Amino acid sequence: MRKRALLLCLALLWGAILLAGTDAAAKKDPVASHWQISTWINPGTGNGLWCGALYAPCSPSDPPQGYGNNWTERVDFVGSVPDPSATVKVRVQALLNYDIEPDYDYIRLQVEREGIMENVIVLTSKNRDYLTNVFTPYVVDETFWVTVLDSKGKGKIHLRWEFTSDTAWSDADCSWPTWGACALDNIVVSVDDVVISTTDFDGDPPTMGDWSVPFSPPGQEAAKAWPQLDAPDPVFAARSYPNPFNPKMTIAYSLPQAGVLTVRIFNVRGELVRTLFDGIVTAREGSLEWDGVDDQGKGVESGVYFYEVASAGHRTVNRATLLK
Which residues lie across from 91 on neighbouring strands?
Answer: 143, 190
5, 301 contact by CB (below 8 A): no
Q: Same structural domain for residues 71 and 182? A: yes
Q: Same structural domain for residues 189 and 308? A: no
Q: Same structural domain for residues 214 and 291? A: no
Distance, in Å, from the CA atom of 118 to the CA atom of 109, rounded to the nearest integer, reads 8
Distance, in Å, from the CA atom of 175 to the CA atom of 306, rounded to the nearest integer, reads 11
Q: Same structural domain for residues 12 and 141? A: no
Q: What angle do CA 44, 203, 162 make, to 5 degrees?
A: 55
222 contact partners, CB below 8 Å, separation of at least 6: 32, 33, 35, 208, 212, 213, 216
pLDDT at residue 186 tops 90: yes
Phi and psi angles of residue 185, each rounded to the nearest 5 degrees, phi first: -155, 160
Distance, in Å, from the CA atom of 136 to the CA atom of 97, rounded to the nearest integer, reads 7
End-to-end CA distance of the chain: 15
The predicted model gives 73-89 an average pLDDT of 87
pLDDT at residue 205 tops 60: yes
Distance, in Å, from the CA atom of 255 to the CA atom of 240, rounded to the nearest integer, reads 15
DSSP 299: B
Distance, in Å, from the CA atom of 99 to the CA atom of 46, rounded to the nearest integer, reads 20
Enclosing domain of residue 39: 30-228
Q: Same structural domain for residues 13 and 113? A: no
Strand order of the β-sheet with 314-322 is: 272-281, 259-266, 303-311, 314-322
Q: Same structural domain for residues 134 and 40? A: yes
Could you report the per-residue pLDDT of 119-178, keeping only the tens digit for each? 999 999 999 998 899 999 999 999 999 987 765 556 789 999 999 999 889 999 898 999
Distance, in Å, from the CA atom of 213 to the CA atom of 110, rounded to the nearest integer, reads 14
Q: Looking at 180, 205, 228, which one is the last position of a domain?
A: 228
pTM: 0.60
Q: Looking at 213, 228, 243, which one is the last position of a domain?
A: 228
pLDDT at 151 (0 to 100): 53
Provide the domain count of the chain.
Answer: 2
Q: Same structural domain for residues 82 and 184? A: yes
Q: How many residues does the chain have?
A: 324
Q: Same structural domain for residues 276 and 316? A: yes
Please give the full DSSP string across 223-237, using - where no structure is assigned: SEEGGG-----SSSE
Q: Same structural domain for residues 146 and 256? A: no
Q: Same structural domain for residues 82 and 173? A: yes
Q: Does residue 29 or residue 56 have the better pLDDT? A: 56
CATH of residue 244's domain is 2.60.40.4070
pLDDT at residue 3 tops 80: no
pLDDT at residue 31 tops 60: no
Distance, in Å, from the CA atom of 160 to the CA atom of 138, rounded to the nearest integer, reads 17
Distance, in Å, from the CA atom of 324 to the CA atom of 314, rounded to the nearest integer, reads 32
Q: Same structural domain for residues 117 and 141? A: yes
The predicted model gives 256-266 an average pLDDT of 87
CATH of residue 178's domain is 2.60.120
Band of pLDDT at residue 224, cut at 50, 70 and 90: very low
Q: Looking at 228, 253, 287, which one is the last position of a domain?
A: 228
Q: Same structural domain for residues 112 and 166? A: yes
